Structure 1
Amino acid sequence: MSNLQLLRQRIESKTAVVGIYGLGYVGLPLALRFAEVGLKVIGFDIDAAKVSKLNAGQSYIERITPNLIQQARARGFEATDDFSRTTEADALIICVPTPLDRHREPDLSFIVNTVEALLPHAREGQLLSLESTTWPGTTEEVLAPRLRARGLEPGQNCALVFSPEREDPGNPHYGTKDIPKVIGGTTPTCLALGQALYQHAIQTMVPVSSTRAAEMTKLLENIHRSVNIGLVNEMKIVADKMGINIHEVIDAAATKPFGFVPYKPGPGLGGHCIPIDPYYLTWKAREYGVNTRFIELAGDINHHMPNWVAGKVADALNDRGKAVKGSRILVLGLAYKKNIDDTRESPAVEIMDLLQGKGAEVAYSDPHVPTFPRKRDYAFDLQSEPLTPDNIARFDCLVLATDHDAFDYALLQRHARVIVDTRGRLAAASNTVAA
């Protein structure tokens, strides 16, 4: 029996060991799902603090309760920062970040570093799956050559697939198991093995012809959202200049039963996908002589929105005889979208930075983020402010950046001097300014 036949047998019998590399917002839910369906899971992460918490049955992601971690531990899940244990796993699934560098170009260092760390311990008969969003060709051009340099040939003595993550934190209707799984293989054998593995944990598989097609699928999904959000954000600016409520317009347009999909404007884009992924395609497209003007324009509009909000704050204060410099400003909501604790690429953080740069004294309140998290480009030594009547009233301006359901909006409007509402959440009032 060949190595790949043995791998197929282990996958089908659910005796295969799954290794998940990167235990963040994508990797940890996936690890818990594989453990839930009865597969042995080893979680790998370079953050020793995360590893210790998980092995102690604790969680560092709000929506994942300690009880879920403890249930997985009882089923054999364990976390480690020892990459030599790669040899124990039959499937190696990479779920690490793919950010942009300072020039807004792809940074694959997390992928490359992970692959380089596990390869010395890789063996024949393993399946390697990349889930990190990236440019079309990454699996073939970055991962496959490194496997071959170790004597591992996809489709012959190992398997290589790309299957993009599709997590939607905070969505109560679609968990890991419910979201259809796109997957492409380096060879038909690789694809078949990848499907056999994932179908244990995911209800619906969506096979495509190649890893490049799977990589492009993920980018299209997120670029679709980026372009449409860019459009509605630009419409918001135009409507504001004309004295029109863009949210009323969107709601009215959404009554059309065909040909229109409502998107909501906001203070900019956040999260690990939509602000970043379009630039992975624009960068790769240049290799083919294509200038992706439409995609880049949407990105520029969305990227500018925190500046637009900062300008609206300055106008709101000016109308009340105040300058930004020296004003006390409270940003409501630090997470990039409502009802979650994820602050990655959050426009709220950039708004805070812009206002502080203009001399304001900034603070924030977020029931999901009690302490300002460590970030690469921003440093605020802050705790979430309590929203009591007296505390609300002491700020010169409130900025609603993320419209968490936990906020008491009536309380905010009663006691705030002025609120700049970037989400269209608040009722019209004399102390409320749309932005």
Structure 2
Amino acid sequence: MSELELKAEKLDAADELAVKRAEFVREEGDGAVYLDGNSLGALPVAVPGRIEDVVRREWGELRIRSWTESGWWTAPERIGDRIAPLVGAAAGQIVVGDSTSVNVFKALVAAVRMARLTDPGRNEIVVDATTFPTDGYIAESAARMTGCTLRPAIPSEVPGVLGTRTAAVLFNHVDYRTGRLHDLPMLTAAAHLVGAYVVWDLCHSAGALPVGLDAHGVDLAVGCTYKYLNGGPGSPAFLYVREDLQDLFDSPLPGWNSHAEPFGMRPDYEPAPGAPRGRVGTPDILSMLALEAALEVWDDVTVEAVRAKSLALTDFFLECVEAYAPEGRVECVTPRAHRERGSQIALRCQGAGDVMERLIGRGVVGDFRRPDVLRFGFAPLYVGFADVERAARVLADVLAEVSTEVSAGTGA
């Protein structure tokens, strides 16, 4: 057994979160390592039984009565309150429903409308230039809809481009390509300094690290639930509206579910008080209740403990890669500093697509982002240190194999 294998064994033995691994369905196969939880979280073992009960009993037997008797109607707010402590929010500020994209649109347009309540001349939206493409598409559409100019900027440069014309700013908390963690407190304060509202996309941080929405005065935030929150493919996203802004929140997508009298069927729209005004249409109950069951794995876990293990896992992975990988074959593009790192490691690598395909074929599942980035996501609730060591060792073998093929003229 190598020195790093022994170190992994000791780290796993001392890991207080190791017991959580039993609460997830493990990937089949000896030595299988799942490092793609930043795309789709693993399945908690409690979910299938809960969904069977929802389908067979609540839908199959109770039918329409389940909206009240089984709590379907209140699920968006109830589950929102369950997510709230994971992102540093008090109850009553998060509603679950719709996709991340829809919630980004709601939040961004509402932010512009709120800014114009006190200054109608605000006509600029600043967007993270490194953002996930969909956020950029939606920001562009929101700008057209509100008559604003869209101004892309790298997050570190944003404070210098903000001004009295800025209505809203849209940031990603963690860069989806590189895993860089942006400075939420500083950037939020910078936006507030010029009187703008800030919207944070938490897709790659919710469930992976402390966010502190309330503590840092964030105005609006959205996030998906199928990554580190393990809600399942297509599980509904969430929308956070700070409590003191809820009466001002003017959604561009009003629906009967967000009406003050949803069953009144009135022709005029009156928004519901509080977080429910972020709802739109009928909740996607099957996905939502699968998410609720998945969140049970957090009952005895703190985000701080998850963050501590995340940093230990990513540090150890980098140590193993540096020890095993052929020199000069990969370059880490994720910041080394803990304060700037999310819960993933991104490695730049020639032929990255082929390398990842071979890794997956050998049971180490990460993903690939064009043109040359290998992404490895570390979900501390079910990833262990032995997994990390094996992933780095297999990566090194694949890199050596590809290099040999290229040298021999048989590779791509």
Query: Does the alignment reach a TM-score above 0.5?
Result: no
Question: In which range does the TM-score fall when normalised by the shorter chain?
Answer: 0.3 to 0.5
Task: State TM-score, norm by structure 2.
Answer: 0.34
Higher relative contact order (CA 8 A, sep 6+): 2
Where is the helix percentage greater, Structure 1 or Structure 2?
A: 2
Q: Which has the larger radius of gyration?
A: 1
